[in-house]
Amino acid sequence: MNNHTNPTTITPQLIDTLKIEGNKILNSCKALNRNTKFRPGVKSITHKEYHNIDYTAQNIILFDLLKIYHFFASTNENTSLTSKFILIYIYEKLQGKDLSENYNSKILQQLPSSKLFDKNIEVIENISFFQPINDINEEFSSSIILKKINSNEFLNIASFLNRMALLMAQSDGKVSKEEKDVLATISNKINNPKLHIANSKYEDVPIDDTLEKVMTELHELIGLEAIKENVENLTNFLKVQKLRKENGLKVSQNSLHTVFMGPPGTGKTTIARMLGRIFKHLGYLKRGHLVETDRSGLVAGYVGQTAIKTDEIISAATDGVLFIDEAYSLTSGGLNDFGSEAIEVLLKRMEDLRENLVVVVAGYPDEMETFIQSNPGLQSRFNRYFTFEHYKPETLLEIFKLIANKADFKLTEDAEDKISEIITRVYEKKHRGFGNARTMRNLFEKIIEQQANRIVLLDSITENILITITEPDVPEILKTVKDILVFND
């Protein structure tokens, strides 16, 4: 199909709109280029091989505009002339050229008929050379940068990108269901950027999530019966508090900040993630996403940088849950350690964001008690405690079988018996660092490696052979138990 058969889609109204939008975005770019925080913000998400390039705001906006263009190009092979015209017009505006001042409306309407029209698209593709880090390839870079530096231009640029997406969706005169879905995806990514912070993990709430889904997943978890009850009790309490507020009654001002006490691999991160989703669905948090970090994500090695680093993590977690694993390590470095600085920043921001942030700190019980008691501010802000216990052997076996099932493996009866014996012996000799579910994952990986070594030598390999774990695939019991205990040390 020849896209150049319908140049009349470039209407005078569209040109006027682009002129207005182009002036707005250029002014925003100029303001950002004057902002001393902008270029460091850009560098923080730039691939390290390109740190020597001095990217401007125009580079970042063009990069994101191309991403929107590609979203719609992927849904329609014959990307409309209007979408291409929008891209070309804004590109020229970002270079300081206004097509509507250089050419009259009639000439601009005929522009798509030019032989060089598609060539211009190739030029724009090639010149947009910004190189973000791999973790955010699917995100909008401008949104991430502006959120990280807390720029006043965030709303202006987010609104601009959303309007450009809508114009491209409407470019053929109608918006299909698929294009509506694309618009929703784009809007969510622009307005709720997935912030990249060193030494941390970020996880958003699923788009189609509901409170019912969270509670179903909670009850499907293996083990954790006491924790499930704690979460359900908290959920019921918050539901009733919400109803009381809606009816004009007084509500209890209980803090949602929580201490998780327990050994590794017992589901603490999973529960923290679920709490964020629950708080969102009940209206206590706007987004409910989870930012997971530890000491390395909060503490820097020299004066002044810890406050900046901690503040950046907290900004990323705002409207969601900040999960700090092994939080006690913040107080274990001695008098000259910067961990105390991170705690002071955390306490201040918890007060400033008391309705927009939930902090969950986690670690071994004894150390967490010492940690909370080390600072009066921590004692006053954390008054909710969840205790996670080691999984029992039968629960660990169920976890192992679930891991295997999810990976399309099944166990023979004798293989299961041998694995059960390994788990029982490990459990009897466990110490507090025993990895629980993590240990089951490591054991599973060791077993499927041994299975691969066995079946690769077979002359004929069927699907049943590929998915079946047999007794010879399970390593020798005593050696495996010893290896696991050493590994957990």
Q: What angle do CA 50, 51, 54 make, to 5 degrees?
A: 95
Q: Is the pLDDT of residue 473 over 50?
A: yes
How big is the CA angle at 62 (ends 56 and 65), to the nearest 5 degrees?
145
Shared fold status for 211-387 and 393-488: no
Task: Report residue 252's pLDDT band, with 50, 70 and 90 as the boundaries.
Answer: confident
Report the pLDDT value the prediction gives residue 334, as an integer from 0 to 100. Answer: 59
Interhelix angle 437-455/413-428, nearest 10 degrees: 140
Read off the pLDDT of residues 29-71 as tens digits, 9 standing for 90 and up: 999 999 998 998 899 889 888 888 999 999 999 999 999 998 8
Average pLDDT over residues 107-130: 76
Residue 3 has pLDDT above 70, yes or no: no
Residue among 189, 51, 30 nearest 94 (CA): 30
**What is the average per-residue pLDDT within 149-158?**
91
Q: Please, which pLDDT band fits residue 198 given cuts at 50, 70 and 90?
A: confident
**Pairwise pLDDT comparison (30 vs 137), residue with the higher score:** 30
**pLDDT (tens digit per residue) in 376-396:** 999 999 989 999 999 999 999
pLDDT confidence tier of residue 117, bands split at 50, 70 and 90: confident
Checking if the pLDDT of 2 tops 60, the result is no
In this predicted structure, the answer to whether residue 4 has a pLDDT above a threshold of 60 is no
312-326 tens-digit pLDDT: 899 889 999 999 999
CATH of domain 393-488: 1.10.8.60
- Tally Cβ neighbours within 10 Å of residue 51: 11
User: What does the pLDDT average to over 327-351?
Assistant: 85
| pLDDT, averaged across the chain | 89
Closest CA to 127 of 167, 88, 177: 88
Q: Residue 124: name the closest of 156, 85, 151 by CA.
A: 85
In this prediction, residues 8-18 reach a mean pLDDT of 83
What distance lies between CA 320 and its chain's CA centroid?
11
Is the pLDDT confidence value at 275 over 60? yes
Q: How far apart are CA 74 and CA 179, in angstroms?
A: 10
- Is pLDDT of 354 > 50? yes
pTM, full prediction: 0.74
Of the two residues 28 and 15, the one the predictor is more confident about is: 28
pLDDT at 7: 45
Sequence spans of domains, the chain: 3-195, 211-387, 393-488
Segment 71-92 shows an average pLDDT of 78
pLDDT at 487: 63
Closest of 4, 14, 1 to residue 111, by C-alpha: 4
pLDDT band, very low/low/confident/very high, at 432 (cuts 50, 70, 90): confident
Q: What is the mean pLDDT of residues 454-458?
A: 92
The maximal CA–CA distance of the chain, rounded, in angstroms, is: 84
pLDDT band at 119 (very low <50, low <70, confident <90, very high): confident
C-alpha to C-alpha distance for 444 and 419, rounded to whole angstroms: 10
| Predicted confidence band of residue 84 (pLDDT cuts 50, 70, 90) | confident
pLDDT of 488 > 70? The answer is: no
CATH 1.10.3720.10 fits 211-387, yes or no: no
